[in-house]
Structure formats: C-alpha cells, structure tokens
C-alpha cells in the first residue's frame, strides 16, 4: 500500500511539472535569436506604411573607413567621393632637419581593406575588399587652405566639431602636391626595402634590393618633392614647424580629389588608421675629423582627424523622380535605400485606431519581426547590393532597443539581423527582430515613433553599448530598391509579424 501511494505521488508531481513547463513559453522571448518556436498565435495583418526620404548629407568624421573615387550605378546614379585631411605634427620637425638636405621621395600611403588567400601554387595572395567599378580614375592631391579644428569653437572647445558630406572645400584648394593619371588599385603586397646609412638601397649577392617589410596592399602616390622643399625644408628650425599649434595653422592639410575619366569609374574604401605621407631624405653631417658623411632619415605626416569625406551626388532620373513624388500620406509602391548621401526609407507601424486596439488586447508578445522585400526587377542592375540594413528610431535619431539588447552579445546581432536573406523560392528580403521595441509600444505605451531604414556596412561591436547615433551609411555607397506598402505584388508588401500568446 505504501509503495502504491509513493507511485501516485510521483505521478502527480510529474504531471504538475509537465503542466508548468507547457506554460513557460509565455515568458520566453528576451533571448530568442532566430525563428521563434513558440506555441501560440501569429498576427501579420498590421498596417505598415513605407515611403522615400532624401538624405542630403551625412555625418563625415570620426570614422576610420573613408571613401575615395567615382561610384557609378545605373539604378541610383553617380557619386564622387573626395577627402579633406589634417596632418599630425611630426616630432622630427622639432629640430633642424640638417644641412644640404636632398629629398629622395615623398609618398602618400593609404592601406586598402584586403584579405589573404592561398592560390593554386600554395602561395599567399591578397584580394582587395570594398573596391567597386572597373575603370581607372585620375587622382589629384592639393594643399588644403582651410583650417579643420577637431574641437567645436561654438561650444568653448568642449565637444568635437561635426563635419558633413556636403561641405564645399572648393574655395580652399591650394597648390598641387601630386597627381596620378589612370589610377587602378593594385592587389600586390606593398614591399619596403632596406637602405644603407647614406640612403642607397641595400643589395644582396645578386644585386637585388633587400626586402625590409611586406605589408598589405596600399594606395601609393608620389608627391612633389619641390612642394615639400619649399613648404617644409626651407623653413627648418622656424617656429612654424617646431611649434605644433603654429604648424597646424601653417600646413592645414591636404585635399584628395577623384576625377572621372571614363564611364564606369572606380570607388575605394580606405583604411585611414594607417594613412600617412612619408618623407625620405638625406643630409650632410660633419664628423669630428672633418669628414662629411651623408645620412639617410625619414619621417611621417600621419593623416589625422578630422578626416572629412565630401560627396557629390548626381541621382538617376528614376531615383530623383521617386524622391520628388514620395507619398507620406499613403506610402509608396517602391522605396529607395541608398548609402552615403542618398536616400532612406521611412516606416510607420500602426495607425491610431489600430494602435488603440492593440493596446486593449492583453497579449503576451513573444516575438516581433519586420520583413521588407527586395524588388528584384527594379534592383537587378544595381552595382552592389547592401548586405545589411539598419532599422532605427527615425524621430529621435537613436538606435532601437533591440539593437543594443543583451541577446545580441557575442552572436553577430543574430536576434536583430537586418542582413540580406533569400527564401526557398529565391525571394530576397531583410528581416529585423524588433520584439523589445514592439513590446514597449504596445505594452508600455511608449511613443510609436517612425522608423528609418538605411544602409549599414556591418554592425561593429561598439553599437551594442548605446553609442550616440551616427549616420550608419556615411561610407557605404550601395543601394537597393524595396517593395513598399502600395505595391500591387500582394505577397511582397512589408509585413510586421507578431507572435503572441493569450493569457489564461
């Protein structure tokens, strides 16, 4: 009898635990990172309105990735990206540069983004990343006669000054420092060679130069030694060179200009963390015995912040027409999303009546996902599709709470996503996990703000920690056309899917 009672007790506890487990799904959701597996219901009849909005300029400083070149896209139009840079004062200028100096070379050196691979022969090779277009371009480097302070004088130098991509540096472009005609980026490693004490190259037994360093591919352009003779070496020892503040005002920077020479252009993303102007020279030193020795030296002008990208956009007729005729009341059939100073999509979720109805329902929101579909016919001739889009708080220019949520830690923003995907039928779309945002709007009566959709090259880890919102597409020229809510293709309209459970 005792054993029978024990068996009944165990059975009762098992049933009780099983029932509890079945109810737990209503509290799951904060840590979901992919397709939901909830018991419950799906609602996808919510009103989603989308329409075009032009982006006239973007924030253009404090970013190590900068653009240079001509981006030609049949769908979106043409973009010219130029660069204004300041120079960091080299400590080498704090003392006399020496007697009877001879400038051997002056080079502008900026690394490309690249990765390595092993070829069929087993040799390591480089492949350039983020290079677009097939034609050569011309590049000119001029002195910049505009002072680019990093701190804002309008705020008592307490904050960094903001520069935007529509700033016109044309009136401040000075003397020509260097130029490269028919420039094509090379994927070859950049090799430096050892020099003897007098500046001649060190040679091996075969008479070949001895390699010093093998570096990743870089843009390397020779600059005018006469310019640097007159600008720097002729003023050796003067306060304009030895005093850092005077130097900043004396040599204010450089302007790098891309010039189109054919029809397809060439556009490059550049790594400014290691950008510099390298100066190599010799000088004569009188030894104690009276002999004169030639000594080789070099120093670098680091390209320092602020570095400002400027963009000149010439939108295509179709894109300009779409922006001019955007319907903010009813929404658009197609919407354009174009990086740099291009276009974004504004998204409005719920009308007033729908929002009131939702808030009266006592739903447990398990998961919320926004889907936007690519108009592949309209986008088939784009130069390059953006692999990720950013959905953000358009009204307040802030990141959504879902983007900086803990469930995104160390998993590549898997809960938020926003990456380009393709279903089994080959339809392309972007999906955004916005569970926290929808919960706040529906359950906490947060303001139902408009959302903005822009190009995003990638989600850096720093975005997890609630950084001040900066233009996400300030260096990415890619674009895509999406179906809007007024499209006649019924299954391609933007849709908000809400997975929910009814309370008992």
pLDDT in tens, 119-155: 999 999 999 998 999 899 999 999 999 998 776 666 5
The answer to whether 115 touches 222, Cβ cutoff 8 Å, is no
Give yes or no: residues 350 and 462 share one domain: yes
Structure confidence at residue 160 (pLDDT): 65
Segment 265-270 shows an average pLDDT of 93
Compute the distance between CA of residue 174 and CA of residue 172 in angstroms, rounded to an integer.
6
Share of the chain above pLDDT 70, in %: 85
Tell me which residue range forms the domain holding 462: 34-57+316-501
Give yes or no: residues 409 and 489 share one domain: yes
Residue 256 exposed, middle or buried by CB count within 10 Å (0-12, 13-18, 19+)? buried
Give yes or no: residues 199 and 320 share one domain: no
Answer whether residue 389 is part of any domain. yes
Polymer length of the chain: 504
Compute the distance between CA of residue 147 and CA of residue 65 in angstroms, rounded to an integer.
22
Compute the distance between CA of residue 152 and CA of residue 139 in angstroms, rounded to an integer.
31
Give yes or no: residues 112 and 258 share one domain: yes
Number of independent structural domains in the chain: 2
Angle between helices 435-443 and 352-360 (to 10 degrees): 80
Give yes or no: residues 271 and 288 share one domain: yes
The answer to whether 65 touches 271, Cβ cutoff 8 Å, is yes
The answer to whether 58 touches 167, Cβ cutoff 8 Å, is no
E-strand ranges in 227-274 read: 254-260, 267-271
Last residue of a domain, one of 266, 294, 313: 313
Q: When comparing pLDDT for 363 and 375, which is higher?
A: 375
Structure confidence at residue 106 (pLDDT): 98
The answer to whether 292 touches 311, Cβ cutoff 8 Å, is no
Q: What is the pLDDT of residues 408-431, one digit of tens each?
A: 655 455 556 788 999 999 999 999
Compute the distance between CA of residue 481 and CA of residue 319 in angstroms, rounded to an integer.
10
26: pLDDT strictly greater than 50? no
Structure tokens at 4: 């029978």
């Amino acid at each position: 009898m005792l054993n029978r009672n024990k068996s009944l007790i165990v059975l009762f506890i098992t049933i009780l635990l099983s029932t509890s487990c079945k109810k737990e799904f209503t509290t799951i959701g904060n840590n979901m990172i992919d397709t939901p597996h909830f018991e419950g219901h799906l609602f996808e009849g919510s009103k989603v309105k989308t329409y075009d909005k032009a982006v006239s300029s973007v924030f253009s400083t404090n970013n190590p990735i900068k653009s240079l070149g001509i981006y030609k896209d049949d769908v979106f139009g043409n973009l010219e990206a130029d660069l204004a840079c300041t120079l960091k004062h080299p400590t080498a200028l704090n003392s006399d540069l020496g007697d009877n100096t001879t400038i051997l070379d002056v080079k502008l050196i900026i690394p490309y983004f690249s990765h390595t691979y092993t070829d069929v022969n087993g040799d390591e090779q480089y492949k350039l990343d983020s290079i677009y277009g097939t034609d050569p371009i011309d590049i000119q480097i001029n002195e910049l006669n505009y002072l680019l302070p990093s701190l804002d004088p309008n705020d008592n130098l307490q904050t960094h000054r903001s520069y935007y991509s529509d700033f016109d540096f044309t009136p401040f472009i000075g003397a020509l420092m260097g130029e490269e005609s028919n420039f094509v980026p090379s994927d070859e490693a950049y090799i430096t060679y050892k020099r003897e004490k007098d500046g001649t190259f060190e040679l091996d037994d075969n008479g070949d130069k001895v390699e010093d360093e093998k570096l990743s591919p870089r843009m390397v352009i020779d600059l005018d030694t006469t310019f640097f003779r007159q600008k720097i070496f002729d003023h050796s020892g003067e306060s304009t060179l030895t005093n850092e503040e005077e130097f900043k005002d004396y040599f204010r920077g450089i302007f790098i200009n891309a010039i189109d020479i054919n029809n397809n252009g060439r556009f490059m993303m550049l790594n400014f963390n290691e950008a510099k102007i390298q100066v190599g020279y010799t000088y004569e030193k009188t030894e104690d015995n009276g002999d004169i020795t030639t000594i080789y030296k070099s120093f670098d002008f680091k390209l320092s912040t602020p570095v400002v990208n400027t963009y000149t956009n010439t939108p295509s007729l179709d894109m300009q027409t779409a922006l001019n005729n955007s319907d903010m009341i009813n929404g658009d059939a197609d919407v354009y999303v174009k990086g740099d100073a291009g276009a974004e999509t504004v998204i409005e979720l719920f009308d007033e009546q729908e929002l009131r109805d939702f808030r009266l329902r006592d739903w447990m929101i398990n998961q919320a996902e926004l889907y936007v579909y690519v108009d592949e016919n309209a986008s088939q001739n784009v130069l390059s599709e953006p692999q990720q889009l950013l959905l953000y708080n358009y009204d307040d220019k802030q990141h959504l709470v879902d983007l900086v949520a803990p469930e995104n830690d160390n998993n590549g923003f898997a809960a938020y996503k926003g990456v380009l995907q393709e279903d089994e039928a080959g339809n392309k779309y972007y999906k955004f996990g916005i569970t926290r945002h929808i919960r706040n709007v529906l359950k906490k009566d947060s303001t139902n703000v408009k959302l903005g959709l822009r190009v995003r090259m990638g989600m850096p880890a720093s975005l997890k920690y609630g950084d001040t919102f900066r233009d996400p597409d300030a260096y990415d020229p890619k674009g895509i056309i999406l179906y809007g809510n007024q499209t006649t293709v019924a299954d391609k309209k933007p849709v908000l899917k809400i997975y929910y459970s009814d309370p008992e």
